[in-house]
């Protein structure tokens, strides 16, 4: 049984924000979708796909997913990197979508079937001060969330990552959206000592208000040195975090060894990683507790499955990246994996806006704090070309960050 790829389309659309989608069609008329969105650098992946990958795919057997993955990875010679791995991910996910549609099964069935009723999701609460943060947490609890990420403003800092510009009581479609449609990146500011002083007081207040049960998460967004991260992890121990994410810049795996020596706060990392090699030391030495990679940025379902299987041998769990810059296609791929793997931990969830959902019709559901990919054959996403046509690509940048004296810093 073979099914040849006859058409390769790279679809760029901007409902609410920019998305790059790959659509493959086979000679028997089956289509598959893959997400290739790389926030702030979207057109680089679109060009990689249409200029360099599309010509290689026409005529290939859509069922040979692993062979196609290896062909694109080894064949490029220039391995790894976010652009390459996002492009390969899009092909991989589109091929899994096709295979599952041909089989007439939801994709998770091909990955081993369901290991759980649904994927525990965490939502993003934020506030410019503690009362506003409490309102945001309450709004999320009312929507059914059973785990909450907590980000707050810091006194003395004007603009901080992860805090919604205009939080709404109903839980906001966009709790925050880091990419801005501006000619130049928006500038934020930063002061690590002020942050380290402030954050434990916020978690103390949240625990006092909401009790010991609620799983709480926090994202450090790569801004600390190892010793600062160790200090924060230790200071947060009384508040029993589910995880502390990206406490140091992710390039240096050894940094986490130092953090680990000082704190029992669970650590999550990996949203900007691209391959298993970024995790080699972290997993083998058990320096982390959660793998944060996105299906979209790590070579797709085939590659992330291998990373998670490796992590499972060390009791390290999944925490797949799921902000709004992962399209509904990438989100659906994550949910099929979440349902199937044994070492599932938690799934990040930021609901997309209405316009996005018009373009990407989806079968996945959020109910009682759990996400489920649905039971339609394949990924369960259809792309509405007519809706997409109304939303032209608009350049957008992620922010940059400076210390008070003007020095560039991680945001």
- Hey, which residues are catalytic here? 161, 221
Alpha helices in 111-163 (DSSP H): 130-142
CA 167 – CA 203 distance, rounded (Å): 19
Contacts of 141 by beta carbon, 8 Å cutoff, 6+ apart: 148, 214
3-state secondary structure of 302: helix
Answer yes or no: are the C-beta atoms of 366 and 349 closer than 8 Å: yes
Q: Which of 86, 97, 87, 89 is nearest to 3 (CA)?
A: 97
**CB-wise, 13 or 25, nearer to ligand GCO?**
13
Answer yes or no: are the C-beta atoms of 399 and 187 closer than 8 Å: yes
Indicate the residue whose CB is closest to Mg ion.
219
**CB-wise, 57 or 217, nearer to Mg ion?**
217
Contacts of 387 by beta carbon, 8 Å cutoff, 6+ apart: 15, 355, 358, 359
If one asks whether residue 323 binds ligand GCO (CB under 6 A), the answer comes out as yes
**CB-wise, 153 or 268, nearer to Mg ion?**
268
Rounded to a whole number of angstroms, the minimum distance from the CB of residue 15 to ligand GCO is 17
Among 42, 97, 175, 219, binds Mg ion (CB under 5 A): 219
Rounded to a whole number of angstroms, the minimum distance from the CB of residue 250 to ligand GCO is 11
Residues 338-397 interacting with ligand GCO (rule: CB under 6 A): 348
Among 13, 26, 37, 39, binds ligand GCO (CB under 6 A): 39
Q: Which of 137, 142, 176, 135 is nearest to 159 (CA)?
A: 176
Could you give the string, one character per residue 205-234, with x where binding to ligand GCO holds by CB under 6 A and - elsewhere? Answer: --------------x-x-------------
Paired tokens of 25: 């069609």
**CB-wise, 218 or 372, nearer to ligand GCO?**
218
Could you give the string, one character per residue 369-388, with x where binding to Mg ion holds by CB under 5 A and - elsewhere? Answer: --------------------
Rounded to a whole number of angstroms, the minimum distance from the CB of residue 397 to ligand GCO is 10
CA 409 – CA 398 distance, rounded (Å): 13
Contacts of 296 by beta carbon, 8 Å cutoff, 6+ apart: 35, 36, 37, 86, 89, 90, 93, 321, 326, 327, 330, 333
Which partner from the list ligand GCO, Mg ion, none does 387 bind, CB cut-off 5 to 8 Å by kind? none
**CB-wise, 68 or 356, nearer to ligand GCO?**
356
Burial label for 160, CB within 10 Å (0-12, 13-18, 19+), is buried
Among 123, 178, 226, 233, binds ligand GCO (CB under 6 A): 178
Rounded to a whole number of angstroms, the minimum distance from the CB of residue 399 to ligand GCO is 9
3-state secondary structure of 341: coil
From 204-212, 226-234, 271-279, 298-306, give the range in contact with Mg ion by CB under 5 A: 271-279
CA 372 – CA 236 distance, rounded (Å): 32
**CB-wise, 271 or 289, nearer to Mg ion?**
271
**CB-wise, 175 or 271, nearer to Mg ion?**
271
Which partner from the list Mg ion, ligand GCO, none does 370 bind, CB cut-off 5 to 8 Å by kind? none
If one asks whether residue 23 binds ligand GCO (CB under 6 A), the answer comes out as no
Provide DSSP, 217-232.
EEE-TT-S-HHHHHHH
From 207-215, 266-274, 305-313, 354-362, give the range in contact with Mg ion by CB under 5 A: 266-274
- Total number of residues that touch ligand GCO (CB under 6 A): 9
Paired tokens of 331: 């989100």
From 84-92, 219-227, 236-244, 247-255, give the range in contact with Mg ion by CB under 5 A: 219-227
Interface residues with Mg ion (CB under 5 A)? 219, 271
């Amino acid at each position: 049984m073979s099914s040849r790829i006859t058409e390769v389309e790279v679809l760029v659309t901007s409902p609410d924000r920019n998305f790059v989608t790959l659509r493959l069609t086979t000679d028997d008329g089956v289509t598959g979708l893959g997400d290739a969105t790389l926030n702030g650098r979207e057109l680089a992946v679109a060009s990689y796909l249409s200029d360099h990958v599309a010509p290689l795919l026409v005529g290939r057997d859509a069922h040979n997913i692993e062979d196609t993955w290896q062909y694109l990875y080894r064949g490029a010679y220039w391995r790894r990197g976010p652009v390459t791995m996002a492009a390969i991910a899009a092909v991989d996910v589109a091929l899994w979508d096709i295979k599952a549609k041909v089989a007439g099964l939801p994709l998770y069935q091909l990955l081993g079937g369901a290991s759980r009723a649904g994927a525990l999701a965490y939502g993003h609460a934020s506030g410019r001060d503690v009362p506003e943060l409490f309102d945001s947490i309450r709004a999320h609890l009312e929507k059914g969330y059973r785990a909450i990420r907590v980000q707050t403003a810091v006194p003395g800092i004007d603009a901080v990552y992860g805090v919604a510009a205009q939080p709404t009581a109903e839980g906001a479609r966009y709790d925050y959206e880091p990419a801005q449609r501006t000619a130049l990146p928006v500038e934020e500011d930063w002061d690590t000592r002020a942050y380290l002083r402030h954050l434990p007081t916020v978690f103390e207040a949240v625990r006092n208000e909401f009790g010991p049960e609620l799983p709480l998460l926090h994202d450090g967004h790569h801004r600390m040195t190892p010793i600062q991260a160790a200090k924060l992890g230790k200071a947060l121990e009384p508040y029993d975090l589910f995880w502390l994410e990206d406490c140091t810049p992710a390039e240096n795996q050894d940094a986490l060894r130092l953090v680990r020596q000082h704190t029992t706060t669970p650590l999550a990392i990996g949203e900007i990683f691209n391959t298993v090699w970024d995790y080699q030391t972290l997993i083998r030495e058990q320096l982390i507790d959660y793998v944060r990679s996105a299906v979209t940025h790590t070579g797709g379902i085939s590659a992330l499955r291998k990373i998670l299987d490796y992590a499972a041998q060390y009791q390290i769990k999944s925490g797949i990246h799921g902000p709004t810059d992962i399209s509904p296609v990438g989100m659906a791929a994550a949910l099929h994996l979440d349902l199937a793997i044994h070492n599932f931990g938690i799934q990040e969830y930021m609901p997309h806006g209405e316009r996005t959902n018009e373009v990407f019709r989806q079968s996945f559901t959020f109910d009682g704090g759990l996400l489920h990919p649905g039971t339609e054959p394949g990924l369960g996403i259809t792309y509405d070309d007519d809706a997409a046509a109304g939303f032209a690509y608009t350049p957008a940048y992620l922010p940059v960050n400076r210390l008070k004296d003007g020095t560039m810093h991680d945001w």
